[in-house]
Structure 1
């Protein structure tokens, strides 16, 4: 039955592509998420979304997301990142870490449930909904638990497309400085392109390279969380793998099999693709094809995640999450702006 859900995600991706073609300023992945959210709210479609389509939509949200993250590595060349200079690289890494830690701390301070603080911190600090999907696979977050962070990072990233250009000249930024600010402070790659392109090709090039430097941080942060989860499960299971009362325990399953890998397979694939792009001369046609496939996979995944959003529940209980998301957005924008003047 999973085929019907995957087919629905593919059809939604085609529709999102059509919207993006008609209005290029709206990022394709943003359209896919919003379309999924809209579909999830319609009473006439909800029985199908929560019934026969659910297995396929869940598969898209998880497995296709991971494949998309692997292909995302082909966008990254370590040579391009090194060309930024050590000051820009250092400040970009600090922005990611400070935003991640600050958002995680604030989310826990206000009492957000489950993995929401971690997922919001990952999305806002690194690369939007793609990072949220990657992290949710490591901590085994439920689709409903992932949906709110995806909605928040989509909302704030969309706001950035409209707000940051209005501040470009009042802040006295040059074209290149604006590109740097956008790359360091906007969440999704597509949102970065949509925001920075108005300042010209040079600003767009800087924005994309700075943004992809943030994307590279996905690997060490996800691997660190995976290591923490592995140790946490090891403590819960105990030295002999008994711990029948452990939430991770499954009768007859070895303890080691219940522990998350230190480096998730899709993260290893992501790193491998980065190395391939850096050291192997790949033809432009191959890179274009990989970029197309990656975009389709992520769009399908984000549509699947969007269908899990319940706006009525978000409006009723999501005030704290919205506050954390907006605070994280302001935090990374302020840190990125400070980095621009330091660099």
Structure 2
């Protein structure tokens, strides 16, 4: 080698390549280096205490019916439902949301079965609270499971009647409160129903029964499997005259403000995944707890993709629910609740 020749090594090349780079006092990757570090600086945490488990109840005994469009979900008769909710409670899930499959011969346009004190939901509430007094029970307040037309309200000449429907919803809420429900959850989107229910509950002495209201419930295509589960699809038209337009965001804040003024304790956005921007807007807008419903269509898509081997179901579920927390959800209704609680326990 002559005096003018220089021997270069890979290390020399690396030093030359980096020698002209500016100083990097901030290296975010330092805080991602190990699992322990990532946990230490994690901004949002999903816990079992965040979850409400939606369950389906039906009449009969010792029966458990699979819901084809919701793999892993079932309709339970009350005896088996008690076993299911006990398992959820033992996993640390603080509450369940109860939805009934009503026999067609009990359905009518006025939804009269919805406030039958001996009906399916009051029976289920009483049995659950007797067996598990500390498990929170949220009951759905709406007419669609009880309606012969499959709508959330009374129908007259093709129109959904608002005020007449609210009068029935009040009776339904009182019926659930008397059975022992901790929260009634109006999901109908009729105007003024939260205030009417709150006044009626207070007048009847049920001042400690809360209202988790579906404040921003959109006319979504994600509800299909749920309607299969309850046989509650509308028999004509759609629900766009009372559920919200998916194109609207500012309107959600108006609905939230109205529900808060009328006495809501928790406000909810439904669906969740396509409406994370709404969850975040609502969270910034109110000091009340904000719930998000990870709905049946969202559940079914994850299940279908997992069955094909296209995704890691557990990883996707945990990422999804953590993302809802990041968006601002304080409470998450999800059919994955038991699976997630088991994962978190491990």
- TM normalised by structure 2 equals 0.25
Q: Max radius of gyration: which structure?
A: 2
More strand as a share of residues: 2
Q: TM-score, normalised by structure 1?
A: 0.26
Relative contact order, CA 8 A, sep 6+: which one is greater?
Answer: 1
